[in-house]
Structure 1
Amino acid sequence: MTVHIDPKAIVHPTAKLADGVHIGPFAIIGEDVTIGTETAIGAHVVIERWTTIGARCRIGTSTVLGGDPQHTRYDGSPSYLHIGDDNDIRELVVIQRSMSPGGCTRLGAHNFIMAQAHIAHDCVLGNHTIVSSLTGLAGHVEVGDGAVLGGVTGVHQFVRIGAYSMVGGSSRLMQDVPPFLLAAGSPATIHGLNTVGLRRAGFSHETRRELKIAYRTLYRSGLNVSQALHTIQCQLTPGDPVKHLIHFIEHSQRGICS
């Protein structure tokens, strides 16, 4: 395999391009950028310094990756953006580096970032997530594996969105969304278990049943959060998903959506 660089593209001499990389017209690849095997960079894309992109990614037209964080305290120190393999990042997306010296904004693998989404400094996305068009993640947001964020959604800094949860479009997230649940609204509230998403992801009927009991105990029993978690642990023999739900809530710093 060979590297294809359009004659109208600009590639810094220190950039490292693996076999099969395709660079489209008017793209700009900055210093100390690394791009993995068979990744395709669209027209007018800008990839700034200290950015690493894995294999077989697709980067859409006019996307900007690895720009300086939008934070008044950023002092210009080296910081990083790391994007894993098999990510589909569409047009006009912005993903920024960490604001901390040596820090890193991270995306895992097999994520789908739709057009005009914004992912700010120090965010961490897992694998197989979907961030829909015009959705904005403020700094330090965490998105768990398999989570889906609807379009035109705003996420407050430091909010965590749990694995296999789903957030409806035009939502405003001020608090954490527990794993496996549905959230929507402005501000977002919990609307139930993400049953369809869990079934599609291969969770067994028994696991879904346990998660439904846990959800009802948390949100329909009239107990406070501490009481609900204690009740779940006493009434169930929690499998790994329920244990993950409990651990997520116990370690929430912003509280969970009501």
Structure 2
Amino acid sequence: MISKLSQIHEQANLGQDVTVEPFTTIHKNVEVGTGTWIGSNVTIYPGARIGKNCKIFPGAVIAAIPQDLKFQGEDSLVEIGDNTTIRECVTINRGTLDKKTTRIGNNCLLMAYVHIAHDCIIHNQVIIANSVQVAGHVTIDDWAFVGGSSAIHQFVKIGMHSMISGGSLVRKDVPPFTKAAREPLSYAGVNSLGLRRRGFSGDTISQIQEVYRYLFLNSLNNSRALEEIEINLPATKERDEIVNFIRSSERGVMKGYIQ
């Protein structure tokens, strides 16, 4: 299962049934979980922690040092969860002193030519389409989808179950359950189709839509909209997820609906 044409450091720790194709290089201080397949011409640098049953396609570079001038060679990691697929020529950089870790969750799909910079936290079931460029310190929550050729500014947060249109410039936070499109990036409705596919009921989706009417369609500023939501709408897990996301936003959230 390990090609004789690959180079694997004696201090790398590979689990059972790992496949390594020809011309791949795995450095020391690397851990690879059981059942993972690593294609040809992959480079995995020190500090990589790769989970079980992952697939890493040719040309990927995992755990290279950050492209950050403040980086001083400190020890840091890239952690990749189980059952995650990393397609051709994806690059994932190690963390810096900020978090010391760049983390990709379970069951994610990073399509070809995606770049994940230092200290990003990508949660579970996330899909990032071809050629998306993710700057440092970005957080992407569960089940989010980022369309191809988008660029995400550093420190941005993208909420769970959101969907970002291809080619977007993401400069502000994207709240959960939404669709984001246009330039500048703005609210394009609730991600109803994605939510139905994941088992959300019609009533729950309607409740989410009502929350966003207050936030993006009623000409209220965010502070006033959040007050009205908490007064007028029943407390639900989804309502509170949205409210807490907006309140904790440091960069501010994307614009409301633009015709």
* Structure 1 partner of 2:214: 217
Asked whether 1:166 is paired with 2:163, we answer yes
* Aligned positions, number: 255
* Structure 2 partner of 1:230: 227
Scaled by the length of structure 1, what TM-score is found?
Answer: 0.97
Counterpart selection for 1:107 from 104, 109, 118: 104
What is the identity, as a one-letter code, of the residue corresponding to 1:139? G
Q: How far did residue 89 of structure 1 move? A: 0.6
Q: Deviations over 1:1-26 (max 9, x none)?
A: xxx21011000111000001000100
| CA distance in structure 1 between the partners assigned to 2:179 and 2:144 by the alignment | 10
Please tell me whether the aligned partners of residues 83 and 107 of structure 2 are also in contact (alpha carbons under 8 angstroms): yes
| CA distance in structure 1 between the partners assigned to 2:114 and 2:205 by the alignment | 31
| CA distance in structure 1 between the partners assigned to 2:198 and 2:133 by the alignment | 25
- Describe the shift of the 1:25–1:129 C-alpha distance in structure 2 as closer, same or farther (beyond 3 A): same
* Structure 1 partner of 2:90: 93
**Secondary structure of 1:209's aligned partner:** helix
* Structure 1 partner of 2:122: 125
* Structure 1 partner of 2:51: 54
* Structure 1 partner of 2:4: 7
Q: Deviations over 1:140-197 (max 9, x none)?
A: 0000000000000000000000000000000000000000001013331111111111
**Secondary structure of 2:187's aligned partner:** strand
| CA distance in structure 1 between the partners assigned to 2:194 and 2:57 by the alignment | 27
Asked whether 1:151 is paired with 2:148, we answer yes
* Structure 2 partner of 1:195: 192
Residue pairs, 1:26-41, within 5 angstroms: 26-41=23-38
* Structure 1 partner of 2:68: 71
* Structure 2 partner of 1:184: 181
What is the identity, as a one-letter code, of the residue corresponding to 1:67? A
Contiguous gaps of at least 5 residues in structure 1: none
**Aligned-residue RMSD, C-alpha:** 0.9
- Describe the shift of the 1:213–1:101 C-alpha distance in structure 2 as closer, same or farther (beyond 3 A): closer
What is the identity, as a one-letter code, of the residue corresponding to 1:209? S
Q: How far did residue 201 of structure 1 move? A: 1.2
Please tell me whether the aligned partners of residues 99 and 119 of structure 2 are also in contact (alpha carbons under 8 angstroms): no
Q: How far did residue 238 of structure 1 move? A: 2.0
Scaled by the length of structure 2, what TM-score is found?
Answer: 0.97
Q: How far did residue 245 of structure 1 move? A: 0.6
Q: How far did residue 101 of structure 1 move? A: 7.3
What is the identity, as a one-letter code, of the residue corresponding to 1:83? I
Q: How far did residue 37 of structure 1 move? A: 0.5
Worse overlay, 230-239 or 155-164? 230-239
Please tell me whether the aligned partners of residues 103 and 121 of structure 2 are also in contact (alpha carbons under 8 angstroms): yes
**Fraction of identical pairs, as percent:** 38
Contiguous gaps of at least 5 residues in structure 2: none
Q: Deviations over 1:197-250 (max 9, x none)?
A: 111111111211110000111011011101111111111112101101100000
Please tell me whether the aligned partners of residues 53 and 84 of structure 1 are also in contact (alpha carbons under 8 angstroms): yes
- Describe the shift of the 1:241–1:177 C-alpha distance in structure 2 as closer, same or farther (beyond 3 A): same
Worse overlay, 103-112 or 198-207? 198-207
Q: How far did residue 102 of structure 1 move? A: 6.9
| CA distance in structure 1 between the partners assigned to 2:39 and 2:3 by the alignment | 10
